[in-house]
């Protein structure tokens, strides 16, 4: 089992913090988000960790010595969405976690014994234009739509992919890069298009287990919430 951490983005909505710091290394409660992810993964025995870099990629170099992670640079980070980032590591997707670099993991819900492909999702309130999931009585996901309804389960930027599903999605990523106009696609679009061909399930987490830090407003709100706990 391994983990792929997507940290190539520019984080323009977090400026000026991201003028000289990559988005994934912005501190929440005094700790860079990406470092907290790495620590949590290692706590659960996951040592094979790949960090995808882009913007200010040189700022991640210290992680190699500190945590023995592997760095892969996406030199087209400012051209395409994260579908191209995932394409660069498609051969690693089988039996792997995928974690977005701008996710602050408040609690360690990583499961090293997980077997089936899963999106970790929480019910959230007050969100706008997030990816909401649809699932059956067995929690198998059969649909994903973008919306703003309260108390829906939304993607939280953490997923796990089985060997079989990882290999399938890797092939679809290859096809998209080679034969489609993919500039505005996210890698989750490929999953969304192929839900009938994979077996991916809802893994429920608590609403305060993770937070997406996409803007200065998000950061301020999360820091305030955490200070009150």
Fill in the DSSP letter of residue 227: H
Closest-CA residue to 165 (of 118, 201, 198, 116): 198
CB atoms within 10 A of CB 164: 14
Three-state SS at 78:
coil
Q: What is the pLDDT of residue 126?
A: 66
Instruction: Quote the pLDDT of residue 135.
Output: 93
Task: Give the pLDDT of residue 202.
Answer: 96
The pTM of this model reads 0.93
Within 10 A of 161 (CB to CB), how many other CB atoms are there?
27
Instruction: Let me know: does 82 contact 6? Beta carbons within 8 Å.
Output: yes
Using the Cα atoms of residue 157, residue 54, residue 195 and residue 184 in order, give the sign of their dihedral. positive
Token couple for 180: 């489609």
Strand partners, 123: 153
Q: Is 160 helix (H, G, I), strand (E, B) or coil?
A: strand
Partners of 141 in beta bridges: 135
46-70 pLDDT, tens digit per residue, is 999 999 999 999 999 999 999 999 9
> Mean per-residue pLDDT for 194-211?
94
Average pLDDT of the chain is 92
The Cα–Cα gap between 57 and 136 comes to 41
**CA neighbor of 6 nearest in space, from 122, 174, 157, 133:** 157
Looking at residue 74, its pLDDT comes to 92
Q: Are 158 and 204 in contact (CB under 8 A)?
A: no
């Amino acid at each position: 089992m391994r983990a792929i951490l997507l940290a190539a983005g520019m984080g323009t909505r977090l400026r000026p913090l991201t003028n000289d710091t990559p988005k994934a290394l912005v501190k929440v409660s005094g700790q860079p988000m990406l470092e907290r992810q790495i620590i949590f993964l290692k706590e659960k025995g996951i040592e094979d960790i790949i960090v995808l870099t882009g913007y200010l990629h040189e700022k991640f170099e210290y992680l190699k010595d500190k945590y023995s992670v592997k760095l892969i640079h996406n030199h087209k980070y400012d051209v395409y969405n994260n579908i191209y980032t995932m394409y660069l590591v498609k051969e690693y997707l089988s039996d792997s976690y995928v974690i977005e670099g701008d996710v602050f993991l408040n609690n360690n819900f990583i499961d090293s014994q997980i077997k089936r492909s899963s999106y970790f999702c929480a019910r959230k309130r007050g969100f706008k234009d997030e990816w909401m999931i649809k699932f059956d009585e067995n929690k198998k996901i059969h649909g994903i739509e973008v919306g703003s309804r309260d108390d829906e389960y939304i993607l939280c930027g953490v997923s796990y992919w089985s060997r079989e599903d990882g290999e399938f999605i890797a092939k679809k990523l290859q096809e998209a890069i080679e034969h489609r106009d993919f500039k505005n696609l996210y890698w989750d679009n490929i999953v969304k298009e192929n839900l009938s061909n994979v077996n991916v399930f809802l893994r429920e987490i608590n609403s305060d287990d993770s937070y997406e830090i996409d803007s200065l407003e998000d950061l301020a709100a999360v820091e305030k919430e955490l200070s009150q706990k």
